[in-house]
Amino acid sequence: MKSAVVIFPGINREHDMMMALEAVTGTKPVAVWHTQASLPNVDLVVVPGGFSYGDYLRCGAIAARSPIMRDIVAKAQKGLKVLGVCNGFQIITEAGLLPGALVRNAGLRFVCKQVKLTVENNQTFFTNKLAKGSILRCPVAHGEGNYICDAETLKRLEGENRVVFRYSQGTNPNGALNDIAGVMNETGSVIGMMPHPENMIEPLHGATDCRPLFESLLAA
């Protein structure tokens, strides 16, 4: 499996993501700088977490207008698999690849803790190795992870089974609507999530709950 990880100024989780992808898939991802005009030939592109451009203006708003994002959007519309994690979720949402928006946490504080996620849809390229309803421990670290959208969009997301992950067992850290932790686009080629699965795949992380997510990439 060929993958690429996009790097923006201020991103700080690219190495974590690249290590996770290589550890599970056996293939080292390609690092792609944000000013590049096009992606290499890959099966998956990941937009990782961090604080692109210092989170100025709105989280992800500046990065979403980088040259590489134009190519990512064009190729995602043709079926390229795209995964956005934390700031990456914010970036791809700002770029129009996913509906809704990520706003300030309900408590107006940065949160860094472990949460529990329920796998709501196990028929995606990132969840197919897990049973529907599986509960995963996963860390979060964000100040603007509160997912919101209008009533019609929410109805479509829920009705079309496009909520991929949901905070469970009272662990919603940010006030996200309907406890939404991750969603996908209409075709299932783009997934965005706030928690950091790359930081819970090996024993040194304290648990391996999220390793099957990366194994799902290979299966897909």
Q: What is the mean pLDDT of residues 104-130?
A: 97
pLDDT at 57 (0 to 100): 87
Q: Which candidate in 94, 120, 198, 210 is catalytic?
A: 198
Exposure string for 163-182, b = 16+ CB within 10 A, e = fewer: bbbbbbeebbbbbbeebbbb
26: containing domain: 3-219
Instruction: Please tell me the total count of domains within the chain.
Output: 1
pLDDT in tens, 19-66: 999 999 999 999 999 999 999 999 999 999 999 999 998 999 999 999
Active site residue 198: yes
Residue 87 pLDDT level (bands cut at 50, 70, 90) = very high
Out of 149, 196, 205, 210, the active site residue is 196
Beta strands in 24-142 (DSSP E): 30-33, 44-47, 81-85, 101-103, 111-119, 135-142
CATH number at residue 129: 3.40.50.880
Instruction: Identify whether 15 is a catalytic site residue.
Output: no
- Among 59, 86, 138, 149, the active-site one is 86
Q: pTM of the full predicted structure?
A: 0.97
Catalytic annotation on 196?
yes
